[in-house]
Chain A
Amino acid sequence: MDKTGFGSLSPEEMDALKELGNIGVAHAATSLSTMLGKVVEMSVPNVFVARISEIHNYFKDELVSGVVTALEDVENGRSGYLYISFPNAEKVAKLLIDDASLVESAIMEVGNILSSSFCNAIADMLGIMLIPSPPSFSYEMSIAIVEAIVAQIAEKSDYVIIFETELKEKDDAIDILVTLVPDERFLGYIMKMFGMLG
Chain B
Amino acid sequence: MDFVVGIGEAKIAKSGVLKTIGLGSCVAIAIYETKLKVSGLAHAMLPKSNGLKSAKFVDSAIEIMLDSLISMGCDKKNMVAKIAGGAQIFKHLTLENLQIGERNVEAVRTELKRNGIRIVSEDVGGTLGRTVYLYASDGRMLVRYSNGEELWI
Interface: B152 (CB within 8 A): no
Task: Find the A residue at minimum CB distance from B23.
Answer: A144
30 residue pairs of the A-B complex, CB under 8 angstroms, read A53-B8, A53-B9, A55-B6, A59-B22, A61-B131, A63-B147, A68-B95, A70-B95, A81-B95, A134-B94, A136-B91, A138-B89, A138-B90, A140-B89, A141-B21, A141-B22, A141-B129, A143-B7, A143-B22, A144-B24, A144-B146, A147-B25, A148-B25, A148-B26, A148-B89, A148-B96, A151-B26, A151-B46, A154-B46, A155-B50
Q: Tell me the chain B residues, 51-105 only, with Cβ under 8 Å from chain A.
A: 52, 56-57, 87, 89-92, 94-97, 100-101
Name A106-121 residues within 8 Å CB distance of B: none
Q: Which residues of A contact B131 (CB under 8 A)?
A: 61, 141
Which residues of chain A come closer than 8 Å to B87, judged between CB atoms?
144, 148
A152 at the interface (CB under 8 A from B): yes
How many residues from A make CB contacts under 8 Å with B? 31
- In the complex where A68-B95, A140-B128, A144-B22 touch, is A52 in contact with B6 (Cβ < 8 A)? yes
Question: Quick check: A136 and B4 within 8 Å, CB to CB?
Answer: no
Whether A143 and B8, one on each chain, are in contact in the complex, defined by CB atoms closer than 8 angstroms, is no
Contacts of A52 in B (CB 8 A): 6-8, 45, 56
Alpha-carbon distance A61/B147, docked complex (angstroms): 11
